[in-house]
């Protein structure tokens, strides 16, 4: 009986590990289909109108605008923590790997849009900076310190308690740019501008 339970437990662990591996890997199809877009260019659109369209898209994605300068053609957001699995209404994790990373680590992203006039066209570039929270490990020197590692929590709320040394060593580490999210934002902004052009024609 115990042997069967052990075999079942092993089978479950192997199946779970396989699912996690598939979830974390971007996949061949996903890698081949993705093509980064550095900028989009549109005609018959003023800079204030393009910036408003971009701000609307960022707002719908739950980003908060930190700076918006029409003269410089700059839009910058405040850092936004990566969406968790249960936050199904959010769309800032593009691709399986980014979704898994946001659930396993404390990730935040900052979006910066550069809008400039190039000839008769208005071009929009997007840069998404990603950061991961680096938290020093707590050193264990006694049983009482080991107990202090665990935060007091309840079923409805989980709390993280840090000692002074951990707080002083805590910081955000820069990671690779999120080209997938940048491409998605540019695509949505382009679609919104096209919708505005269609409304003007009607």
Q: How many CB atoms lie within 10 A of CB 115?
A: 23
Distances in whole angstroms, Cα of residue 193 to Cα of each of 60, 68, 118, 123, 181: 15, 18, 17, 12, 18
Chain segment 43-68, per-residue pLDDT in tens: 888 999 999 999 999 999 899 999 99
Structure confidence at residue 17 as a pLDDT band (50, 70, 90): very low
Distances in whole angstroms, Cα of residue 184 to Cα of each of 39, 65, 191, 192: 11, 18, 11, 12
Residue whose C-alpha is closest to residue 109's, from 23, 177, 27, 202: 177
Q: Where are the domains of the chain?
A: 1-33, 36-135+171-202, 138-169
Instruction: Report pLDDT for 25.
Output: 46
Q: What is the CATH number of domain 36-135+171-202?
A: 3.30.530.50
Structure confidence at residue 163 as a pLDDT band (50, 70, 90): low
CA distance 46 to 42: 10
Chain segment 100-146, per-residue pLDDT in tens: 776 677 888 899 999 999 888 999 999 999 888 887 665 555 555 54
């Amino acid at each position: 009986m115990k042997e069967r339970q052990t075999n079942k437990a092993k089978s479950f662990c192997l199946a779970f590990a396989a699912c996690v591996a598939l979830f974390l890997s971007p996949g061949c199809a996903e890698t081949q289909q993705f093509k980064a877009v550095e900028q989009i260019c549109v005609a018959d659109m003023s800079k204030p109108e393009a910036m408003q369209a971009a701000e609307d898209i960022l707002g719908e994605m739950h980003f908060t605008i930190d700076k918006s300068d029409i003269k410089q053609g700059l839009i910058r957001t405040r850092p936004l923590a990566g969406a968790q699995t249960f936050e199904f209404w959010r769309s800032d994790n593009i691709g399986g790997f980014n979704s898994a990373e946001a659930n396993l680590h404390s990730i935040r992203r900052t979006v910066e849009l550069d809008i400039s006039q190039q000839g008769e066209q208005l071009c929009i570039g997007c840069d998404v900076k990603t950061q991961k929270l680096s938290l020093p490990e707590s050193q264990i020197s006694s049983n009482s310190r080991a107990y202090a590692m665990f935060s007091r929590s309840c079923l409805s709320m989980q709390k993280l308690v840090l000692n002074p040394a951990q707080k002083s060593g805590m910081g955000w580490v820069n990671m690779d740019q999120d080209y997938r999210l940048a491409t998605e934002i540019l695509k949505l902004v382009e679609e919104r501008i096209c919708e505005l052009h269609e409304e003007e024609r009607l």
